[in-house]
Copies of this chain bind each other. A is one copy, B any other.
């Protein structure tokens, strides 16, 4: 039993972890891996691994385990990272600049092809990726050009790195312009239409989580 609909969100999150760990095994020339071994590397139970993978199909061979290269391909396909896709970034502050130069995006099949900011001093200039492999130059657009650029380049993903106070408004502009998924770094709970996917990287929450655990264990 597999296919669609009632897949737990935590299972999808873990799929990314499986994929990454499989890539590590693959780099070490491992041909197959068992649910036990995969789980051990990620501090998960073997049953968890099997159940998660089973939501998406039958990938393993009893007695053998999972074939590493094959499972990598299948997971990439499921996650949609087998094809490249374009992204834009709004908000060229410290964090925005760091993310533009971040090689991880390219590795996951995402390429930042346009940057937007409302600061006239930044608009019109270019930012360049300092990635190890390719050095590209990306134009900084004014916010007003977003709909045009999104349409022209077929962009679906937006990275939001503006101050918290501006985030909700900018998110609405992004949705309006045709963006279908938002990676939000602003410390705000965005309210958007259900059709649009939002994933928030919330540093404040992470810090307070840690702080809570620290105060719990020490005097």
Contacts and interface: CB of A to CB of B under 8 A. Distances in A.
A13 B205 contact: yes
A138 interface: no
Contact of A205 (B16, B156, B195): B16
A197 interface: yes
A41 to B, nearest CB: 7
A197 B181 contact: no
Interface stretch (A29-37, A79-87, A115-123, A140-148): A79-87
A217 interface: yes
A213 B187 contact: no
A201 B199 contact: no
A183 B212 contact: no
A199 B203 CA distance: 10
A207 B183 contact: yes
A17 to B, nearest CB: 6
Nearest to A190: B43
Contact of A16 (B21, B130, B208): B208
Interface size class of A (residues with CB under 8 A): 35 or more
Give the copy number.
2
Contacts of A78: 212
Contact of A97 (B12, B13, B98, B205): B98
Nearest to A100: B94
B80 A16 contact: no
A17 B207 contact: no
A175 to B, nearest CB: 14
A60 to B, nearest CB: 21
Among the interface residues A183, A203, A214, which one has the most CB atoms of the partner chain B within 10 A? A203
A189 B17 CA distance: 8
6 contacts: A20-B188, A79-B215, A81-B211, A94-B97, A108-B204, A110-B211
Interface of A: 12-13, 15-17, 19-21, 41-43, 78-81, 85, 94-95, 97-98, 101-102, 104-105, 107-110, 130, 156-157, 180-183, 187-189, 191, 195, 197, 199, 201-215, 217-218
